[in-house]
Chain A
Amino acid sequence: SQTIHQWPATLVQPVGSPLSLECTVEGTSNPNLYWYRQAAGRGLQLLFYSVGIGQISSEVPQNLSASRPQDRQFILSSKKLLLSDSGFYLCAWSPLGTGSYEQYFGPGTRLTVT
């Protein structure tokens, strides 16, 4: 069966510090991968998606970046965090080449920038 891992679960970082969130998927190959951010009481904002190693598409201009160094690894980074980067970050995957209406989400990372 497939599982998706995210870490850390919670993170408190000062403004201006760097960020690295990691997501890994097990039990599947060539998944589509996604990073979302969710503000408190709000919907899911798609930040990045990837259809393959090294292939990253950005949805929202911001000071975040994403990388996919391995097939089942997706990393979200920032060089200098802003207060507005606080939120709940969710990684998700979907099978490649399907109707792709179903995504599977990781447990999320709750980031607080102080």
Chain B
Amino acid sequence: GQSLEQPSEVTAVEGAIVQINCTYQTSGFYGLSWYQQHDGGAPTFLSYNALDGLEETGRFSSFLSRSDSYGYLLLQELQMKDSASYFCAVRGGSGNTGKLIFGQGTTLQVKP
């Protein structure tokens, strides 16, 4: 089966850089995704890594090491609006089902 581990909470100050780690166990790997969810809202897609290395999208970057079954989301120049939960996810199953298995999420609190 598949499982993912993330820290439950991270706290950082406005303007700082924070890294949210994710380790996974999966039979068959098709990439690691990251989602953001504000309190009471729906998750929204942030980034995806299929290959090793760093993917950058504005202030957010995501890194993957397939040999270590490990990835992280890097948030730079933190803003108060970045306070949210962040989930890593791997694809479960095969074929065209598109199933995603999500981690339990990391709650990021940004302080002024």
Contact = CB atoms under 8 A, between A and B. Distances in A.
Interface of A: 32, 34, 41-44, 46, 49, 51, 57, 59, 90, 94-108
Interface of B: 30-31, 33, 41-45, 48, 50, 87, 91-92, 96-105, 107
A49 B105 contact: no
A49 B104 contact: no
Contacts of A102: 33, 45, 48
A85 B33 CA distance: 27
B44 A46 contact: no
Contacts, number: 72
B42 A44 contact: no
Contact of B105 (A32, A43, A51): A43
A49 B43 contact: no
Contacts of A104: 45
Given A100-B91, A101-B30, A102-B48, A51 B42 contact: no
A30 to B, nearest CB: 10
| Chain B interface main SS type | loop
Contacts of B48: 99, 101-102
A36 to B, nearest CB: 8
Nearest to A43: B104
Nearest to B45: A102
A49 B91 CA distance: 13
A103 B103 contact: no
Contact of B43 (A32, A44, A98): A44
A100 B101 contact: no
Contact of A107 (B42, B92, B104): B42
Nearest to A6: B42
Given A42-B104, A44-B87, A108-B42, A101 B96 contact: no
B31 to A, nearest CB: 5
Contacts of A95: 98
A32 B97 contact: yes
